[in-house]
Amino acid sequence: MDVSMIPLDYATLRVIWWLLLGVLLIGFAVMDGFDLGVAALLPVVATTDEERRVMLNLVGPVWEGNQVWLITGGGAIFAAWPLLYAASFSGLYLAMLLLLVALIVRPVGFKYRSKLPDARWRATWDGLLCFSGVVASLVFGVAMGNLLLGLPFGSDPETLRPLYAGSLWQLFTPFPLLAGVVSVAMLLAHGAALLAWRTDGLIAARARRIGAVLALACGVLFALAGVLVASMDGHVIAGTVDVSAASNPALKAVEVVGGGWMHNFSRWPWMWLAPGLGVAGSLLAALLLWRGARVSAFLATSTAITGVILTVGFALFPFLMPSSLQPGMGLTVWDASSSHFTLWVMLLATVVFLPIVVFYTGYVYRVMRGTVTPESVSENPNAY
């Protein structure tokens, strides 16, 4: 097909796929984030085996569908941003492996935890489920923090093959760890909000108290991280860039300047809505949970998650993966994408299949609606 026949130009398609990547990340954090949060809170909120089974059966029927958002995001990166996929999945192999271990432990825990009545057996799996929720939440936040610092990679100027020069432990420096703690507090508060909404009695009461503290911590720490970002070095493209040229990171010049990640907020003031949503959503969630709200508290934590992820995306734009080793070889929206034709075909497929996925997800949640109680769990022979 002649690319001149495509109704959307190359630059526009690149921005659309940058937005779609953001939608997938937000969808994963909102939908699968409460699964991770509930798993992490399992030994904290529940004090009896019966209460832990209630928590497991709240997320057990939907976690697999929720994780599809992560798989879809990885597939979108592979197809729409091949250079980003190559640089991140090869250079960050050990970090990805740690994340996969955490994500693999979770379904195994769901399936095997209640196979035996032995208290030690169940306590072991409860600990592993808590581990999976905390570690996965932490790694996602640490990844965001490292993107703002820039990752130590470069590229072969002839083959564009990514060359990573860092190690696993270099990822866990103070600022990325702060970002990881923000992520843990954010997703655990989200899980607590779901528990406050979809359970009752002591479980819901404890979830409200713990969730209020976590949401407050998320808002305060996110604001602190924002202050640090405003004072740290950021990457800025120097000169002009051909936004419709074939992908080649070597064709641009990048400057590292103090406060560089704040330039987009100065250029487009409406972007301040994102950090505003992150802070306000967290503080509102803390207030609503403290006052015993249900659905509104869950919507508030969802809003906070959306604001936090949008803030990082807006600050980085047009960068997808900045390089601290060779800033000029950092990957951007304009030089890390697939071809014009590939992006167009993928967009057509997305327009057809994404509404189907959203409709089916909505149908599943409608079927699974209602409060999960010890009685409903004991009456269901297929319960976890």
Q: H or E segment at 238?
A: strand 233-238
Q: Which of 292, 309, 293 is nearest to 33 (CA)?
A: 309
Of residues 182, 195, 191, 104, the one with CA closest to residue 139:
182
Helix (H) or strand (E) holding 155: strand 153-155
Query: In the block, which residue shows the tokens 């702060």?
Result: 178
- Among 44, 306, 298, which residue's Cα sits nearest to residue 189? 298
Dump pLDDT digits (tens) for 78-101: 889 998 888 888 778 888 888 889
Establish if 384 belongs to a structural domain.
Answer: no
Q: Report yes or no on 308 lying in a domain.
A: yes
Question: Which of 12-21, 262-271, 354-363 has the lowest average pLDDT?
Answer: 354-363
pLDDT at 295: 93
Classify residue 169: in a domain, yes or no: yes
Please state, in angstroms and rounded to a whole number, the distance separating the CA atoms of residues 96 and 296.
34
Higher pLDDT, 72 or 23: 23
DSSP readout, 282-335?
HHHHHHHHHTT-SHHHHHHHHHHHHHHHHHHHHHHTTEEE-BSS-GGG-EETTT
- Residue 246, domain member (yes or no): no
Which among 29-33, 181-185, 356-360 has the top mean pLDDT?
A: 181-185
10 Å Cβ neighbour count for 248?
Answer: 15
Residue 245 lies in a domain: no
Is the torsion defined by CA of 157, 160, 162, 163 positive or negative?
A: negative
Least confident of 172-176, 234-238, 362-366, 380-384: 380-384
Question: Would you call 254 helix, strand, or coil by DSSP?
Answer: strand
Q: Which of 47-56, 218-227, 260-269 has the lowest mean pLDDT?
A: 47-56
pTM: 0.93
Collect all residues with Cβ–Cβ distance below 8 Å to 110 and sequence separation of at least 6: 56, 60, 63, 129, 384
Give tens-digit pLDDT for 134-189: 999 999 999 999 999 998 888 776 777 778 887 888 889 999 999 999 999 999 99
The whole-number pLDDT of residue 334 equals 93
Look up residue 200 and give its two tokens. Answer: 């009752």
Q: Span 125-140, mean pLDDT? A: 93
Alpha-carbon distance 256 to 212, whole Å?
Answer: 39
> Would you call 332 helix, strand, or coil by DSSP?
strand
Q: Percent of the chain beyond pLDDT 90?
A: 52
The confidence score (pLDDT) of residue 1 equals 55
**221 or 62, which is more confident?**
221
- What are the beta bridge partners of residue 323? 151
Average pLDDT over residues 239-250: 86
The mean per-residue pLDDT over the stretch 272-292 comes to: 95
Annotate 322-343 with b (16+ C-beta within 10 A) or e (fewer).
bbbbbbbbbbbbbbbbbebeeb
Q: Which of the 8 DSSP states describes residue 245?
A: S
Q: Is 272 helix (H, G, I), strand (E, B) or coil?
A: helix
* Residue 4 belongs to some domain of the structure: no
Rounded percentage of the chain residues whose pLDDT exceeds 70 = 98
**How far, in Å, CA of 111 to CA of 169, rounded?**
32
Q: Is residue 247 part of a domain?
A: no
Q: For residue 119, what are the domain limits?
A: 9-240+252-379
Burial of 291 (0-12, 13-18, 19+ CB in 10 A): exposed
**116 within a domain of the structure (yes/no):** yes
In the chain, how many domains are there? 1
